[in-house]
Amino acid sequence: MIPPVVRSNLTLWQVFQSPPALQSILIDDAGVVTEKQNPLNKDTKAAKVFIPGGHQFYCEKDDFAYTALVAAGYTLEEVT
């Protein structure tokens, strides 16, 4: 016996949520750190440091970016 067709008002994207987008990080000349999901081209050009979402970022401990990120409360991992 074939089971009956079940109809629902649910769409596929209500059952399987899309993954969250990763935030990009922008650091301006004053060291202010901003997270944006979709930064505009003008924002990335104006930033002193731009870290695209989902990418590893390497810097030295005395770099401007390192100091700004630690001051903003980020925890960085040392890679050897």
Which pairing describes strands 24-27 and 49-51: parallel, antiparallel, or unpaired? antiparallel
Instruction: Quote the Cα angle for 65-70-75, to 5°.
Output: 110
pTM exceeds 0.75 for this model: no
Task: Split the chain (80 residues) into runs of 10 and give each run's mean pLDDT.
Answer: 73 61 90 93 95 88 93 86
Q: Domain residues for 65?
A: 20-71
In a domain, residue 80? The reply is: no
31 neighbors 71 (Cβ within 8 angstroms): yes
| Counted domains in the chain | 1
In a domain, residue 58? The reply is: yes
DSSP 4-42: PPPP-S--HHHHSPPPPPPPEEEE-TT--EEEESS--HH
Residues contacting residue 35 through CB under 8 Å, at least 6 positions apart: 23, 24, 25, 26
In a domain, residue 25? The reply is: yes
Output the pLDDT for position 13. Answer: 60
